[in-house]
C-alpha cells in the first residue's frame, strides 16, 4: 500500500509536466497496469527468478540503449522516445530499476512490442542514450530474450494447438522453433525459443493468448540468460 502511495504521488507530481508534452498522458488504466507490472517485477526479483539483477535494471530497454548505468546517466527523461514509439510499447519505468531509473523508458510488450521495421526512438533521442541505428542494424539489435513458461503455455501445459507466438515472430528464420511432443490426446507441436536468433522484440508476448500472465515473456539480458 505504501509502495502504491509513493508511485501515485510521483505520477501526480509529474503528470502536469507530461500533459504539457503533447500526448504523454498516463491514463488510470495505464497507471494501474504499470503499477502491477512494477509490483510483479519487484516480486520476481525478490524470488530470484528470471528478471534481471538490480544492476541490470530489471527492465527491457529500447533497442540500442546504452549499457544500463550509462543509459540511466545519459537519459534526460524528455520522453521523446515514448512519444514516437509507434506501438506505444515504450513506457516510463517506475521503481523497477531503482530510484535512479525513475521515468526512463522501458519496453512493456503487453502494451506494445518493438516493431521490426522501426528505428524511431534512436532517431529522436537527443542525448544518444538510445543510439541511432540503420534499420538493418536495429533488426539485429537485441533488447532482451524471450522465454516460454511451459507450465502455462497451451501446447506444453494442456496439449492444445497454439503457435501464435511462432507465427508472429518477425525473424526470417523464426526465433521460435517448433518441436513435436506427445500429449494426452496425441502428438502436439510445441514452441521453443532459439536464443541465438531472438532479438527480444516482444511481439510474441504481446500476441500470446494466455491470461492473465503471458506464457512467453521477454526478459532483459543477464548473464544467466545468455
Q: DSSP string of 107-173?
A: E-TTT----TT--HHHHH-SSSSB----HHHHHT----EEEE-TTTSIIIII-----HHHHH--STT
- List beta partners, residue 178: 191
Query: In this chain, which stretch among 15-23, 66-74, 86-94, 178-186 interacts with ligand SF4, using CB under 6 A?
Result: 86-94
Separation between Cα atoms, residue 71 and residue 125, nearest integer Å: 11
Query: In this chain, which stretch among 2-10, 67-75, 166-174, 179-187 interacts with ligand SF4, using CB under 6 A?
Result: 166-174
Closest distance between ligand SF4 and the C-beta of residue 47, in Å?
Answer: 21
Under 8 Å CB-to-CB from 211, ≥6 apart: which residues? Answer: none
Q: Of 169, 188, 217, 219, which one interacts with ligand SF4 (CB under 6 A)?
A: 169
- Residues 138-157, one symbol each (x = binds ligand SF4 by CB under 6 A, - = not), give --------x-x----xxx--
- 193 contacts ligand SF4 (rule: CB under 6 A): yes
Angle 224-95-57 from CA coordinates, rounded to 5°: 25
- 90 contacts ligand SF4 (rule: CB under 6 A): yes
Separation between Cα atoms, residue 47 and residue 204, nearest integer Å: 25
Closest distance between ligand SF4 and the C-beta of residue 169, in Å?
Answer: 3
Binders in 53-82 for ligand SF4, by CB under 6 A: 62-63
Cell of 68: 544500463
The phi-psi region of residue 66 (left if phi > 0; otherwise alpha if psi is between -120 and 50; otherwise beta) is beta
Q: Of 87, 96, 104, 106, which one interacts with ligand SF4 (CB under 6 A)?
A: 87
Distance linking the first and last C-alpha atoms of the chain: 35
Q: Of 97, 104, 106, 119, which one interacts with ligand SF4 (CB under 6 A)?
A: 119
Closest distance between ligand SF4 and the C-beta of residue 97, in Å?
Answer: 17
Residue 1 three-state SS: coil
Closest distance between ligand SF4 and the C-beta of residue 207, in Å?
Answer: 6
Smaller CB distance to ligand SF4: residue 67 or 167? 167
Chain residues binding ligand SF4 by CB under 6 A are: 62-63, 84-87, 89-90, 107, 114-115, 118-121, 146, 148, 153-155, 162-165, 168-169, 171, 175-176, 191, 193, 198-204, 208, 210, 215-216, 218
Amino acid at each position: 500500500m505504501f509502495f502504491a502511495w509513493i508511485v501515485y504521488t510521483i505520477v501526480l507530481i509529474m503528470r502536469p509536466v507530461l500533459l504539457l508534452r503533447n500526448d504523454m498522458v498516463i491514463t488510470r488504466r495505464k497507471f494501474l497496469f504499470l503499477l502491477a507490472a512494477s509490483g510483479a517485477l519487484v516480486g520476481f526479483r525478490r524470488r530470484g527468478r528470471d528478471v534481471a539483477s538490480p544492476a541490470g535494471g530489471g527492465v527491457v530497454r529500447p533497442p540500442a540503449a546504452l549499457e544500463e548505468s550509462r543509459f540511466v546517466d545519459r537519459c534526460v527523461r524528455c520522453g521523446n522516445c515514448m512519444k514516437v514509439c509507434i506501438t506505444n510499447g515504450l513506457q516510463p519505468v517506475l521503481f523497477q530499476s531503482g530510484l535512479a531509473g525513475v521515468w526512463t523508458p522501458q519496453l512493456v510488450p503487453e502494451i506494445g512490442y518493438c516493431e521490426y521495421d522501426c528505428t524511431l526512438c534512436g532517431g529522436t533521442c537527443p542525448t544518444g542514450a538510445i543510439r541511432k541505428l540503420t534499420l538493418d542494424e536495429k533488426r539485429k539489435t537485441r533488447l532482451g530474450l524471450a522465454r516460454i513458461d511451459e507450465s502455462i503455455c497451451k501446447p506444453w501445459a494442456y496439449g492444445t494447438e497454439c503457435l501464435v507466438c511462432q507465427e508472429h515472430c518477425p525473424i526470417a528464420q523464426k526465433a521460435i522453433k517448433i518441436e513435436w511432443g506427445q500429449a494426452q490426446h496425441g502428438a502436439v507441436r510445441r514452441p521453443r525459443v532459439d536464443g541465438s536468433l531472438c532479438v527480444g522484440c516482444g511481439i510474441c508476448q504481446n500476441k500470446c493468448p494466455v491470461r492473465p500472465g503471458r506464457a512467453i515473456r521477454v526478459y532483459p539480458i543477464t548473464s544467466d540468460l545468455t
